[in-house]
Amino acid sequence: MTDIKGGSVQVDGGILVLAATGDARAAAERDVMDWLRLHGLEEVADLRSETEGDQAGLRLTLRPDLFEAWTPGYDTTRLHDELGLDTVARPQDLETEVVVAMLASPIAFVFPHVPELLSSIRIRRYIVEAARQAVLAFDTVDAERPMDWWDYSDERGFTVKPGKPLRDALQKATQPDHGERKWSFSCYRATEYVTLMGLARELAICNPALADDLQRQWETRAIVSGEFHEVFLREYGSMDAPLPLKFYVPGDRLWFRNPDPHSSDVEGYEGSWIFYLGNGLFNNFWTPTKVFSLQRKCLEIYHWRDATYRKPDGSLAVNDDIVDERVRATLADPQAVERIYSMMLKLREPQGVYQDGGCIDATRECLRWVHPDVSEITLPGR
């Protein structure tokens, strides 16, 4: 590692495009530089050729002086301000934020070739766009879908009706038109649907055969929960080597843990699965006009403990109106904000441990490689 004031640059991090020969590395550099130049980023990256073993390729990292200025301590939550980006009005700006955050990563994002890198950038953009537009009703028990697009069985889960395009069906379920009903989801299932929307959109461009397989899969049987994670997602970071607390790349799927042992016994309040949108913000499936800053998300999860009660049937529940009231009261007291934020902005503890940990997970998740020649996605079928 190379020390930088206010943080350190992981020289083995950033982006690594695999290329076994000198000619392949030169071609990769030309293609990468064309993309960087198109986005006004040709001066921000350090490029170097690596020639050792199966990791030979082209490595790109954020220039050390820019790392210090833009992402000190790997904090990527300020990039939009540092670069003057408008990621809502200009989709190209969202791709810019994705790449700069990846360049600053302490762990390498490895790609087999430049087209896969560019697909990853686009997928992250598509996921952010879908997450911004998702408007759902929270329910961990009774899930619902628009039944003119979806079928349901206990064995197969929610499957798309034959002849209905998967991408359109996902949109109908997660993005109701103004005034239409919101469909019920848990936050975990919601992240799966949004991830699938980003994947389906990119597969139509780069891998139509896998897009067709994905369509047939969801007409046959839904892939959910742990199987979804194994089939589609790559997890980076670990409890042994956790990611920095404020390191996020737009399009990351991530989990905030509820570190309170009592309120975390409420179904659906064990934690919160969401996406990083860029701009220092995280999505809100239930009220998308009220997206979360990192601080605001920490305050919300903290105050779940103050709104937990026992229903007449003896089960635990959380009153979200009380959570909102407590958060508003805390925000009016800067000292309370600082006290709670410092408690929550810490690495989470291992499962089952509730001592002095915070709500920040050690890992983030992103999609696996998708191009025909290198795809890591193998669909199970029936």
For the record, the structure tokens of 59 come out as 């490595």
Instruction: Assess if residue 122 is contained within a domain.
Output: no
Instruction: Assess if residue 321 is contained within a domain.
Output: yes
137 shares its domain with 185: yes
Domain around 35? 2-111
Instruction: Assess if residue 353 is contained within a domain.
Output: yes
Check whether 8 has a pLDDT greater than 90: no
Rounded to whole angstroms, how far apart are CA atoms 120 and 226? 22
DSSP letters, 58-83, are: EEEEE-HHHHHHHSGGG--TTHHHHH
Rounded to whole angstroms, how far apart are CA atoms 119 and 137? 31
* Domain closes at, from 178, 206, 237: 237
* Local confidence band at 11 (pLDDT 50, 70, 90 cut-offs): low
pLDDT in tens, 277-336: 999 999 999 999 999 999 999 999 999 999 999 999 999 999 999 999 999 999 999 999
pLDDT score at 231? 98
221 shares its domain with 294: no
pLDDT score at 1? 33
* Local confidence band at 381 (pLDDT 50, 70, 90 cut-offs): confident
Place of tokens 């989709």: 91
Q: How many domains does the chain have?
A: 3
Instruction: Assess if residue 372 is contained within a domain.
Output: no
| CB 18 within 8 Å of CB 110 | yes
68 shares its domain with 150: no
* Local confidence band at 3 (pLDDT 50, 70, 90 cut-offs): very low
Instruction: Assess if residue 376 is contained within a domain.
Output: no
Question: What's the whole-model pTM score?
Answer: 0.95
197 shares its domain with 142: yes
Rounded to whole angstroms, how far apart are CA atoms 80 and 280? 8
231 shares its domain with 271: no
40 shares its domain with 95: yes
Q: Name the nearest CA neighbour of 63 among 79, 45, 49.
A: 45
310 shares its domain with 350: yes
Instruction: Assess if residue 176 is contained within a domain.
Output: yes
Long-range contacts of 50-57 (CB under 8 A, 24+ apart): 50/16, 54/18, 55/16, 55/18, 55/110, 56/18, 56/19, 56/20, 56/25, 57/16, 57/17, 57/18, 57/19, 57/20, 57/25, 57/28
Instruction: Assess if residue 106 is contained within a domain.
Output: yes
pLDDT in tens, 78-109: 999 999 999 999 999 999 999 999 999 999 99
Check whether 5 has a pLDDT greater than 50: no
139 shares its domain with 100: no
Instruction: Assess if residue 120 is contained within a domain.
Output: no
Q: Which residue has the higher pLDDT, 326 or 178?
A: 326
354 shares its domain with 261: yes
pLDDT score at 290? 93
Check whether 7 has a pLDDT greater than 80: no
